[in-house]
Structure 1
Amino acid sequence: MDSQEVSMDIEAQIENNVDDRTLPFSIFKKANLPITLKFENVMYTVKVEEQKSWPCQTKGKTEERTILKGITGIVKPGEILAMLGPSGSGKTTFLTALGGRVSEGKGKLTGNITYNNKPFSKGVKRTTGFVTQDDALYPHLTVTETLVYTALLRLPNTMKRQEKIKQAEAVVTELGLERCKNTIIGGPFLRGVSGGERKRVSIGQEILINPSLLFLDEPTSGLDSTTAQRIVSILWELARGGRTVVTTIHQPSSRLFYMFDKILLLSEGNPVYFGLGSDAMDYFASVGYSPSVERINPSDFLLDIANGVGPDESQRPEALKAALVAVYKTHLLENVINEVKGPDDHSNHSIGSPGDSKHFGDWPTTWWQQFCVLSKRSLKQRRHDSFSTLKIGQVLIVSLLCGLLWWKTDLAHIQDQIGLLFFISSFWAFFPLFQQIFTFPQERAMLEKERSSGMYRLSPYFMSRVVGDLPMELILPTFFLIITYWMAGLNPNPFNFFLTLLVLLVHVLVSGGLGLALGALVMDQKSATTLGSVIMLSFLLSGGYYVRNVPVFIAWIKYVSIGYYTYKLLILGQYTESEWYPCGDKKCYVGDYEGIKNIGFHSGLVSSLALAAMLVVYRVIAYIALMRIGRTKSG
Structure 2
Amino acid sequence: MLPRNEHNQPTLVDETRARPKAPDPDLERNEDHQFLMNRSVRNFSWKGLTVTVKDRQTKDARELIKDISGDVQQGELVALMGPSGCGKTTLLNVLARRPAASGAKVLGDSYVNGTKVDSSAFGRMTSYVEQEDTLIGSLTVRETLKFAADLSLPSSVTKSQRIKRIDTLLEAFGIQNQANTLVGTPIRKGISGGQKRRASVASQLITCPKILFLDEPTSGLDSTASFEVMSYAKELARANNIIIIASIHQPSTTTFQLFDKLLLLSAGRTCYFGPLAGIDGYFREIGHPIPGSTNPAEFLLDIVSSDFGNAKEVAQERVQLIQHSWAQSMEADAISRQIFDRFSVAEKDESRVDVEDIVRPGSIRITGALLHRSFIKSYRDVVAYGIRIVMYLGLAIMMGTVWLRLQPTQESIQPFVNAIFFGSAFMSFMAVAYVPAFLEDRANFAKERANGLYGATPFIISNFLIGLPFLFLIALLFSVISYWLSNFQPTGQAFMTWVMWLFLDLVAAESLVVFITAIFPNFVIALALVAFANGLWMSVGGFLVTPTILNPFWKYVFHYIDYQAYVFQGMMVNEFSDRIYTCGTGCHCMYNTDLADQCQIRGTGVLETYGYATGRTGKWVGILVGIIAVYRLLGWIALSLRKT
TM-score (ref. length: structure 1):
0.87
Q: What's the counterpart of residue 40 of structure 2? A: 33
Match of 1:321 in 2: 319
> How far did 1:181 drift?
0.7
In the alignment, structure 2 segments of 5+ residues that lack a partner are: 19-36, 588-598
What is the aligned-residue RMSD (CA, Å)? Answer: 2.7
Cα distance change, pair 535–422 in 1 and its aligned pair in 2 (3 A): same
The alpha-carbon distance between structure 1 residues 500 and 172, as it changes in their structure 2 partners (threshold 3 A), is same
d(CA) in 2 for partners of 1:330, 1:415: 85
- In 2, the alpha carbon distance for the partners of 1:236 and 1:107 equals 32
Supply the distance in 1 between the matched residues of 2:626 and 2:181 (Cα, whole angstroms). 43
SS in 2 for 1:316: helix
Are residues 1:47 and 2:54 paired? yes
Residue by residue over 1:68-117, the C-alpha shift from the partner in whole angstroms, topping out at 9 and shown as x without a partner, is: 11001111112222111001111111111111222696311101111112
Residue 271 (structure 1) shift: 0.2
Partner of 2:353: 350
Give the match's secondary structure for 2:59. strand
Instruction: Confirm or deny that 1:370 pairs with 2:398.
Output: no
Task: After superposition, give the CA deviation of every residue in 1:347-405 in whole Å (9 maximum; x if it has no partner).
Answer: 7542434552xxxxxxx101111011110101111222367654333222221222222
Aligned residue in 2 for 1:106 = 103
Q: Which amino acid counterpart does residue 621 of structure 1 have in structure 2?
A: L
Q: Match for residue 138 of structure 2?
A: 140
Which residue type is aligned with residue 259 of structure 1? Answer: L
Identity of aligned residues (%): 26
- Alignment partner, residue 62 of structure 1: 59
- Asked if 1:628 corresponds to 2:641, the answer is yes
Does the residue aligned with 1:574 lie in a helix, a strand or coil? helix
Deviations 1:557-610 (A, max 9, x none): 322222221111101112227845435422223233388444444644443332
Residues 39-48 or 582-591, more deviating: 582-591
Q: Secondary structure in 1 aligned to 2:570?
A: helix
Q: Secondary structure at the match of 1:49?
A: coil
| 8 Å Cα contact 1:435-1:512 kept in structure 2 | no
Contact preservation (8 Å) 1:289, 1:311? no
The equivalent residue for 1:87 is 84
Cα drift, residue 167 of structure 1: 1.3
Q: Which one of the candidate residues 144, 169, 172 is aligned to 1:171?
A: 169
Could you say which residue in structure 2 is the equivalent of 1:259?
258
Q: Which moved more, 1:434-443 or 1:519-528?
A: 434-443
Q: 1:458 to 1:543 in 2, by over 3 A?
A: closer
Distance 1:69 1:188, change over 3 A: farther
Tell me the SS of whatever aligns to 2:163. Answer: helix
* Range that drifts further, 176-185 or 602-611: 602-611
Change (3 A) 1:104 1:67: closer
For the Cα contact (< 8 Å) 1:544–1:598, is it kept in 2? no
3-state SS in 1 of match to 2:367: helix
Distance 1:598 1:27, change over 3 A: same
Give the match's secondary structure for 1:611.
helix
Distance 1:66 1:313 in 2: 24
Do structure 1's residue 589 and structure 2's residue 608 form an aligned pair?
Answer: no
CA contact under 8 A between 2:127 and 2:211: conserved in structure 1? yes
Structure 1 match to 2:224: 226
Task: Tell me what 2:246 maps to.
Answer: 247
Cα 1:565–1:355 shift into 2, 3 Å: closer
Q: What's the counterpart of residue 9 of structure 1?
A: none
Conserved 8 A contact 1:32-1:211: no
Aligned to 2:626: 613
Which shifted more, 597-606 or 145-154? 597-606
Tell me the secondary structure at the aligned position of residue 583 of structure 2: strand
State the alpha-carbon separation in 1 of the partners of residues 523 and 501 from structure 2.
29
Q: Which residue of 2 aligns with 1:13?
A: none
Tell whether the 8 Å contact from 1:415 to 1:595 is kept in structure 2 after alignment.
no
Q: 1:597 to 1:40 in 2, by over 3 A?
A: closer
C-alpha distance in 1, partners of 2:309/2:541? 73
C-alpha distance in structure 1 between counterparts of 2:439 and 2:385, whole Å: 20
Deviates more, 1:302-311 or 1:202-211: 302-311
- Which range is displaced more, 408-417 or 347-356? 347-356
Aligned match of 2:338: 339
SS in 1 for 2:128: strand
Task: Tell me the distance in 1 between the aligned counterparts of 2:478 and 2:353.
Answer: 61
Moved more, 410-419 or 302-311: 302-311
Whole-Å separation in 2 of the counterparts to 1:445 and 1:387 = 15
What's the offset of the Cα at 1:478?
0.9
- The separation in 2 between residues aligned to 1:607 and 1:323, in whole angstroms, is 73
Q: Distance in 2 between matches of 1:355 and 1:105?
A: 30
TM-score relative to the length of structure 2: 0.86
State the one-letter code of the partner of 1:613: G
What is the letter of the counterpart of residue 552 of structure 1?
Answer: P
Q: In 2, are the aligned partners of 1:367 and 1:457 still within 8 Å (CA)?
A: no
Range moving further from structure 2, 272-281 or 390-399: 390-399
AA aligned opposite 1:303:
L
Aligned 8 A contact 2:140 2:183 in 1:
yes
* Residues 583/538 of structure 1: CA separation in 2 closer, same or farther (3 Å cut): farther
Distance in 2, matches of 1:87 and 1:103, equals 16
Name the residue aligned to 1:76. Answer: 73
Aligned to 1:428: 427
Q: What SS does the corresponding residue of 1:469 show, helix, strand or coil?
A: helix
Equivalent-residue separation in structure 2 for 1:164 and 1:535 (angstroms): 45
- 2:193 corresponds in structure 1 to 195
Tell me the SS of whatever aligns to 1:342: helix
Amino acid in the other structure paired with 1:350: V
What is the CA-CA distance between 1:191 and the residue it aligns to?
1.2
Structure 2 partner of 1:555: 555
Task: Tell me, yes or no, if the aligned pair for 1:131 and 1:217 is still in contact at 8 Å.
Answer: yes
Q: Which residue of 2 aligns with 1:403?
A: 400
Render the CA deviation track for 1:8-54: whole Å, top value 9, x for unaligned. Answer: xxxxxxxx9xxxx973225378724233111111001122424xxxx
**2: CA distance, partners of 1:577 / 1:208:** 62
- Alignment partner of 1:237 out of 214, 235, 245: 235
| Distance across 2 between alignment mates of 1:625 and 1:104 | 19
Q: Which residue of 2 aligns with 1:546?
A: 544
Instruction: Give the counterpart letter for 1:342 in structure 2.
Output: D
Flag the 1:594–1:213 CA change in 2: closer, same or farther, 3 A: closer
The one-letter code matched in structure 2 to 1:401 is M
Rounded Cα–Cα distance in structure 2 between residues aligned with 1:313 and 1:490: 79
Q: 2:295 matched to which residue of 1?
A: 297
Name the counterpart of 2:25. none
Q: SS of 1:110's equivalent?
A: strand
Output the CA distance in 1 between the equivalents of 2:94 and 2:149: 26
With 401-410 and 579-588 compared, the bigger mean Cα shift is at 579-588
Checking the alignment, whether the CA contact within 8 Å between 1:35 and 1:243 is kept in structure 2 is no
Secondary structure at 2:13 match in 1: coil
Cα displacement (A) at 1:486? 1.0
- What per-residue deviation string (whole Å, max 9, x for no partner) do you get for residues 409-453 of structure 1? 122012111111111111221122x13444543333322210011
Which stretches in structure 1 are left out of the alignment for 5+ residues?
A: 1-15, 51-60, 357-363
- Letter of the structure 1 residue corresponding to residue 77 of structure 2: I
One-letter identity of the residue aligned with 1:367: S
Following TM superposition, by how much is the alpha carbon of 1:489 offset from its aligned partner in structure 2, in angstroms?
1.1
Work out the CA distance in 2 between the residues paired with 1:387 and 1:76.
45
Of 467, 470, 474 in structure 2, the residue corresponding to residue 469 of structure 1 is 467
422-431 or 25-34: which moved more? 25-34
Q: Secondary structure in 1 aligned to 2:328?
A: helix
Q: Distance in 1 between matches of 2:437 and 2:307?
A: 46
- State the alpha-carbon separation in 1 of the partners of residues 436 and 312 from structure 2: 53
- Whether 1:391 aligns to 2:384 is no
Change (3 A) 1:488 1:312: closer
Deviation at 1:483, TM superposition (A): 1.0
Is the CA contact 1:438–1:519 (under 8 Å) kept in the aligned structure 2? no
- Equivalence for 1:269: 268
2:388 and 2:532 map into 1 onto residues whose CA distance is 23
